[in-house]
Amino acid sequence: MPLSVPISYTRYLDDHGQPSGELPGWVDDPQLLLDFHRQMTLVRAFDQKCVALQRTGQIGTYASTLGQEAIGTALGRAMTEADVLIPYYRDTATQLQRGVAMQDILAYWGGDERGSAWTAPGALEDFPICVPIATQACHACGVASAFRIRQQPRVAVTTCGDGATSKGDFLESLNLAGVWQLPVVFVVNNNQWAISVPRSLQSAAPTLAHKALAAGIPGEQVDGNDVLAVYDRISIAIERARAGKGPTLVECVTYRLGDHTTSDDASRYRDADELSEAWKHEPIGRLQRFLHGQGLWDEEKEQQLQRDLGERINAAVEAFRSLPEADPGAAFDHLFAELPERYRQQRDELLIRAAALGGSAHD
Amino acid sequence: MKQFKLPDLGEGLQEAEIVEWHVKAGDEVAVDQLLVSVETAKAIVEVPSPQAGVISRCFGASGDLLHVGEPLVEFEGEGEDSGTVVGNLGHASGTSDLAADDFIIGAAPSSRDARPLPVMPAARELARRLGVELGQLEGSGPGGLVTVADVQAADTQPTAGEALRSVRRTMAKNMSRAHAEVVPVTIVEDADLHQWDAGARDPMVRLARAIARACQAEPALNVGFDGARLSITRHQHIDLGVAVDTPDGLFVPVLRDVGNRDAEDLRQGLARLRADVLNRSIPPRELMGATITLSNYGTLFGRYASPVIMPPQVAIIGAGVIREQAVAHQGQVAVHPILPVSLTVDHRAVTGGEAARFLKALVEDLQAAE
């Protein structure tokens, strides 16, 4: 018997930037729309720079966010400073919107622990990037539980990819969040590919949002390439959680226009036609066309914006490059309030070895 | 000259193959402009320029394999080399102007060199013996572990000779092991057989009995020695290994309990063992458990020898060709049949005194008329 429980799907702008129905009232805020556009454009340019820095050996493996700029930008904007982001590795856009500096993001991908010790006031208690798949969903339930225990009107927001929704960690977290009615929002970046596993082979569920139903929490889909839809629905989910009405799962349907990471080559398993079709739906052009239609944008402004962003990015890269060398023991510094004895021994051993290597590391 | 060296383009990749150059010497490039497409084990990767400048040299052509840390392009003008791998790697010492052909040799200093390569211990030992450079190997095991098969595949000097098989292969291995472990000392003496009945010259049965008597006189040579635990096991019985030469190689069947068997019994036992070995019908259990060994090369040729002791045994007796020899006998020169005897002991377990007492008892028993 096929499952036929309807899941809502929200989209305000179509591929041509035309409203596909009535727009929410908050859209009458030109500055907000321009902010979205500016931020998404920054994300894309910065993302491209990150890939180039990896290709020239200046940072390590990097997970590009190409094509998924709307999700993180809208999500970061919908959260308040009091809320806590528990991100995964494809959250450059979210972190940037939360105020994390580009040079910190570069430091993280450059293997420097200081990249997760940012001082951005709006993101002080945000978690560092989580690379193990879906484990961050558990962390988010822990954070949300803490808010409940402290009786704080704050919300934990966690992100993951489509592949992560098949993991026990994710499903257990949904269950816990549902039964405890935790103030947490699960945002799924369904970009159709979990490295080389397509969405069709990931799950037989009609939508990933359906997974929320078994946990007794609301689940919905939004067009992840429509920044207005993502912002609108996630804002509602966050405020719902803040009001003590429990968790929500928001599945943002988008497309990974790049490789999984810089270690991947998607052309080996992905059809080129599928990719070029997906480019027609990408989020920045869509918003730009909408802004053009509203008389808020033109070619001159676009060129000026590209110049400004280029300068900002170059300055961030320079700041990253001039970061003094990290202490070799830094890997041990952020895990425990007090380092257990066995780790202390390991750290000391490492420092001795690092000192022995010092000649080649510092000359 | 400022060189841009091939970075690690994936996670722990060692090399990349040049697919196509998008610039050439003399070209002016901007930051992030595409320089070259390379193929790694994981992906085809477009490598952009880390800086603006004029290219003075491109290293390598399509199809060339470059190792991480080797120069990719050189920019005109002075300056230090740009980093390659993430983090804090050192820079190549000096500013050598590499000839086009030797860029493939030797990578820039990299922290990778200080990292231990995961290698199976057996593979590391084999590589040492074959002279295979481990640093050049890409392990096929889990986590890049270098296996024995990887080392064998990387052995560029396979033997031109014929591979040893079966018995000879076993011999080669056993002898290497024994030689590596045992500390051998050899002592030799002649047994004067003039009292033997002229017609009854069966030295094998007499040798077996003499060895049994010698073991009874000096039990220290009929023991098992464990070199790893430094312990000695004293044997209750004397089980004599008898080295038999065959076209296939060396066999050492075991004659059981030689201390408690009469001459006729020993003769039949020896005949049966020899026949079984030559027919290749000897059961494996008959080749195991010798407590002491006799190598009677006297049936072939040669006087003295220092045969190899197989641990855990501690002694081996060699018997040479019986020959007519002029000897001093009761103040006169006489011609007697002489059997040269060699005794080799493992000095880790046996003292010189024990060896000498054993040999004395052995020779005296051999020299007796019956």
Provide the domain count of chain B: 3
B159 is a domain residue? no
Note whether A336 and A302 are same-domain residues: no
Instruction: State both tokens at A192.
Output: 């159709």
Distance (Å, whole) CA B314 – CA B345: 5
Range of the domain at B49: 2-113
Distance (Å, whole) CA A200 – CA A211: 15
Give the residue numbers in B contacting A (CB under 8 Å), as ranges.
Answer: 4-11, 32, 42-50, 82-91, 109, 111, 114
pLDDT beyond 80 at A204: yes
B162 is a domain residue? no
Question: What residue ranges in B6-150 does DSSP mark as E strands?
Answer: 15-21, 28-29, 34-39, 44-48, 53-58, 65-67, 71-75
Please answer yes or no on whether B8 and A57 come within 8 Å at the CB atom: yes
**CA angle, B90 then B93 then B98, to 5°:** 120
Distance (Å, whole) CA B282 – CA A126: 77
Q: Which residue has the higher pLDDT, B201 or A330?
A: A330
Residue pointed to by tokens 């066995």:
A342
Note whether B23 and B133 are same-domain residues: no
Q: Is A276 on the interface with B (CB under 8 A)?
A: no
Chain B closest-CA separation from residue A282 CA (Å): 23
pLDDT band at B1 (very low <50, low <70, confident <90, very high): low
The crossing angle, in degrees rounded to 10, of helices B263-278 and B203-217 is: 110
Note whether A42 and A180 are same-domain residues: yes
Note whether B202 and B284 are same-domain residues: yes
CB atoms within 10 A of CB B111: 15
pLDDT band at A195 (very low <50, low <70, confident <90, very high): very high
Please answer yes or no on whether B86 and A262 come within 8 Å at the CB atom: no
Note whether B223 and B245 are same-domain residues: yes
Q: How far is CA B270 from CA A152, A245, B264, B292, B336, in A?
A: 95, 96, 10, 15, 27
Chain B closest-CA separation from residue A360 CA (Å): 5
Cβ atoms of A294 and A30 closer than 8 Å: yes
pLDDT band at B84 (very low <50, low <70, confident <90, very high): very low
Largest CA distance in chain B: 108
Helix (H) / strand (E) containing B336: strand B332-346
Note whether B96 and B122 are same-domain residues: no
pLDDT the model gives residue A237 = 98
B320, B310, B321: which is closest to B345 by C-alpha? Answer: B310
Cβ atoms of A72 and A93 closer than 8 Å: yes
Note whether A351 and A240 are same-domain residues: no
CB atoms within 10 A of CB B219: 15
Chain B closest-CA separation from residue A31 CA (Å): 32
- The share of chain B scoring above pLDDT 90, in percent, equals 48
Note whether A339 and A206 are same-domain residues: no
A262 is a domain residue? yes
pLDDT the model gives residue A19 = 94
> What are the start-end ranges of the H helices in B12-156?
121-130, 148-154
Please answer yes or no on whether A357 and B44 come within 8 Å at the CB atom: no
Note whether B74 and B148 are same-domain residues: no
pLDDT tens, residue by residue, A77-90: 999 999 999 999 99
pLDDT the model gives residue B93 = 36
Q: What's the CATH code of the domain at B291?
A: 3.30.559.10
Helix (H) / strand (E) containing B4: strand B2-5
Residues of chain A with Cβ-Cβ distance to B45 below 8 Å are 55, 262, 265
Distance (Å, whole) CA B169 – CA B51: 61
Residues of chain B with Cβ-Cβ distance to A265 below 8 Å are 42-45
Mean pLDDT of chain B: 84
Note whether A214 and A188 are same-domain residues: yes
Q: What's the CATH code of the domain at B136?
A: 4.10.320.10
Please answer yes or no on whether B44 and A55 come within 8 Å at the CB atom: no
Choose from A56, A112, A325 for mutation: most chain B CBs within 10 A. A56
pLDDT beyond 70 at A360: no
Note whether B286 and B176 are same-domain residues: yes
pLDDT band at B100 (very low <50, low <70, confident <90, very high): very low
pLDDT tens, residue by residue, A95-151: 999 999 999 999 999 999 999 999 999 999 999 999 999 999 999 999 999 999 999
pLDDT the model gives residue B126 = 86
Cβ atoms of A47 and A95 closer than 8 Å: no
Q: How far is CA A335 from CA A107, A125, A338, B292, in A?
A: 18, 15, 9, 64
User: Could you list the active site residues of A?
Assistant: 256, 260, 269
Please answer yes or no on whether A56 and B8 come within 8 Å at the CB atom: no
Note whether A280 and A157 are same-domain residues: yes
Q: How far is CA A315 from CA A311, A318, A339, B155, B159, in A?
A: 6, 5, 36, 51, 60
- Please tell me the least confidently modeled range out of A95-109, A134-148, A317-331, B179-193: A317-331
Secondary structure of residue B186 in the 3-state scheme: strand
Note whether B109 and B121 are same-domain residues: no
Q: Which residue has the higher pLDDT, B166 or A88?
A: A88
Please answer yes or no on whether B86 and A110 come within 8 Å at the CB atom: yes
Residues of chain A with Cβ-Cβ distance to B88 below 8 Å are 325-326, 361-362
Residues of chain A with Cβ-Cβ distance to B69 below 8 Å are none
Choose from A55, A112, A352 for mutation: most chain B CBs within 10 A. A55
pLDDT beyond 70 at B364: yes
Note whether A109 and A61 are same-domain residues: yes
Q: How far is CA A95 from CA A33, A42, A90, B67, B302, in A?
A: 19, 12, 10, 35, 88
A92 is a domain residue? yes
pLDDT beyond 60 at B105: no
Note whether B99 and B148 are same-domain residues: no
Chain A closest-CA separation from residue B99 CA (Å): 23
A3 is a domain residue? no
**In this complex, which of A59, A268, A360 lies closest to B111 when CB atoms are compared?**
A360
Q: How far is CA A341 from CA A198, A334, A348, B305, in A?
A: 45, 15, 11, 62
pLDDT band at B208 (very low <50, low <70, confident <90, very high): very high
Note whether A206 and A347 are same-domain residues: no
Q: What's the CATH code of the domain at B108?
A: 2.40.50.100
**In this complex, which of B43, B86, B90 lies closest to A363 when CB atoms are compared?**
B90
Residues of chain B with Cβ-Cβ distance to A48 below 8 Å are 32
Query: How many pairs of residues across A and B have Cβ atoms under 8 Å apart?
Result: 76
A4 is a domain residue? no
Chain A closest-CA separation from residue B42 CA (Å): 6
Helix (H) / strand (E) containing B233: strand B231-234
pLDDT the model gives residue A92 = 97
Cβ atoms of A230 and A71 closer than 8 Å: yes
Distance (Å, whole) CA B214 – CA B222: 9
CA nearest to A265 within chain B:
B43
Give A172-176 contacts, CB < 8 A, sequence gap 24+: A172/A137, A172/A138, A173/A134, A173/A137, A173/A138, A173/A140, A173/A141, A174/A137, A174/A211, A174/A212, A174/A214, A174/A215, A174/A217, A174/A247, A174/A249, A175/A214, A175/A215, A176/A141
* Mean pLDDT value of segment B301-316: 95
Cβ atoms of B214 and B358 closer than 8 Å: yes
Mean pLDDT of chain A: 94
| Bond preceding residue B312 cis, omega within 30 of 0 | yes
Note whether A277 and A352 are same-domain residues: no
Note whether B42 and B61 are same-domain residues: yes
Distance (Å, whole) CA A337 – CA A19: 51
Distance (Å, whole) CA A61 – CA A109: 7
A1 is a domain residue? no
Note whether A200 and A345 are same-domain residues: no
pLDDT the model gives residue A2 = 61
Helix (H) / strand (E) containing B240: strand B240-242
Q: Is A243 on the interface with B (CB under 8 A)?
A: no
pLDDT the model gives residue A334 = 83
Cα of A49 vs its chain's centroid, Å: 17
Q: What's the CATH code of the domain at A255?
A: 3.40.50.970
Radius of gyration of chain B (CA): 35
A188 is a domain residue? yes
pLDDT beyond 80 at B202: no
pLDDT beyond 90 at B7: no
pLDDT beyond 90 at A278: yes
Note whether B346 and B206 are same-domain residues: yes
Chain B closest-CA separation from residue A218 CA (Å): 39
Note whether A268 and A345 are same-domain residues: no
* Mean pLDDT value of segment B289-304: 93
Residues of chain B with Cβ-Cβ distance to A58 below 8 Å are 7, 50, 83, 86
Q: Is A268 on the interface with B (CB under 8 A)?
A: yes
CB atoms within 10 A of CB A74: 31
Cβ atoms of A240 and A25 closer than 8 Å: no
pLDDT beyond 50 at B106: no
Note whether B47 and B122 are same-domain residues: no
* Mean pLDDT value of segment A195-202: 96
pLDDT tens, residue by residue, B19-69: 899 999 999 999 999 999 988 877 788 899 999 999 999 988 888 888 888
Note whether B284 and B260 are same-domain residues: yes
Q: Is A360 on the interface with B (CB under 8 A)?
A: yes
Range of the domain at A349: 327-363
> What are the start-end ranges of the H helices in B191-331?
203-217, 263-278
Q: How far is CA B356 from CA A52, B204, B342, in A?
A: 81, 21, 11
**In this complex, which of A48, A49, A59 lies closest to B86 when CB atoms are compared?**
A59
Residues of chain A with Cβ-Cβ distance to B47 below 8 Å are 55-56
CB atoms within 10 A of CB B187: 16
A2 is a domain residue? no
Residues of chain A with Cβ-Cβ distance to B109 below 8 Å are 360
pLDDT band at A222 (very low <50, low <70, confident <90, very high): very high
Q: Is A342 on the interface with B (CB under 8 A)?
A: no
Provide the domain count of chain A: 2
* Mean pLDDT value of segment B150-168: 75
Note whether A293 and A358 are same-domain residues: no
Stated length of chain A:
363
